[in-house]
Chains A and B, each alone.
Chain A
Amino acid sequence: MDDHLTEETPDIGGSGYTLEDLSEYLDRGRTPAIAAIDDNAECQSVLASLERVGALSRDLVAQDAALNPAIDESWLASVFSSITREAKAGRDIPLSSPDPRTRLSITEGAVRELVRAAGDAIDGVFVGRCDLDGDPTETGSGIRVGISISVVLGSAVHDVAETVRQRVYSELLTHTELTIEAVDVTVTDVHVIANGSAPE
């Protein structure tokens, strides 16, 4: 039966629809439904074949990946030599200096790193996003810090979030001169392996 299943085939199973029509019907999620296709056994068989080879194509790439899981370290190093934190350093946040001739500052990126480290230090917590809302470049201007966290499955979410909030707040007070109005912690994710005790 393969012989007549070619691009030249005008229509399949006398349905009036070609292989290309069927493929497009599949792409549209078989809506709106076309009875001439849905009630035609040969069309149904061709649709099943199209679905199957599509799924197999995706499986093939997944299998290729599974068979070649190793990442070449020199290849990776060359990616990392081309990416820089500087690209995401953000605004410069002034720090007071004992010497009036010296201007000190810390970047927004470094503050975010500090926040991440503070949150990650809590057992079962990973910090995600960290936003500094306000104008940190202006000394004394109030800043709201918004962070999202992922907590390990089974945590007491409220307690964990509160611990993170306090920890981040006190780290920011210790290591920056920002005027922190609030630290808002949102739990956006849950993960399954505790980070605190994990080896590595």
Chain B
Amino acid sequence: MAGLDAASDALLAERSADGDTVAFGILVRRHGPYLRAFATRLTGSAADADDAVQEALIAAWNQLSTLEDPAKVRTWMTSIVSRKSTDRLRRRKPSSELDDQRPDTHERGPEARAIATSQLDALAGVLSALPEGQRQCWVLKEVGGYSYEEIADELDLTPAIVRGRLARARATVISEMEVWR
């Protein structure tokens, strides 16, 4: 079927819901890179991201008939990816331990910021230097568009803990990114 990749997300989602694996394959190729990028920033691990997105896509295929607005298929897939990613995060270690834990990275510090050549590089550095729990909350809120309560649900935390983590993440990100204004 030549050219189906010119079709809209909505049409491909409708066909997929009807059982068209070709249409679903086009959706996966179209949005897979975004879903993996999102999951990688969220979990901090490309391997976890690959597994989570894979699980999410299989779940998405089986649940396509529940998608109310087929035009929003990417947003819908992203929410399934969040869930599969946070499932992995919860299994990985108790979330309460992540509060102050910083990733092992030598990219941190002023040197790393000094060699960042763009705002995006700088932000990438700041985010990956955040304690894991803070980074997860930040990505879910700012990229995933979730509310405090939804993040608390996803990560199995109290809203107060989410609030605290976001407050610390926000203070760090704002002040570290100040030089890039």
Contact = CB atoms under 8 A, between A and B. Distances in A.
Interface of chain B: mostly helix, strand, loop or mixed? helix
Contacts of A35: none
Contacts, number: 170
Q: How large is the interface on B (under 10, 10 to 19, 20 to 34, 35 or more residues)?
A: 35 or more
Contacts of B174: 5, 19, 46, 49-50, 53
A46 B138 CA distance: 17
Nearest to B164: A7
Interface stretch (B5-13, B82-90, B103-111, B151-159): B5-13
Q: How large is the interface on A (under 10, 10 to 19, 20 to 34, 35 or more residues)?
A: 35 or more
A71 B19 contact: no
Interface in B11-44: 11, 14-15, 17-21, 24-25, 28-29, 32-34, 36-38, 40-41
B21 A85 contact: yes
Given A19-B174, A50-B170, A79-B54, A113 B20 contact: yes
B70 to A, nearest CB: 8
Interface stretch (A120-128, A136-144, A156-164, A169-177): A120-128
B61 A83 contact: yes
A105 interface: no
A132 to B, nearest CB: 10
A7 B61 CA distance: 43
A57 B138 contact: yes
Contacts of B123: 53, 56-57, 60
Closest 10 CB pairs of A and B: A88-B19, A195-B3, A64-B37, A198-B3, A193-B6, A129-B14, A65-B33, A128-B14, A65-B37, A57-B142
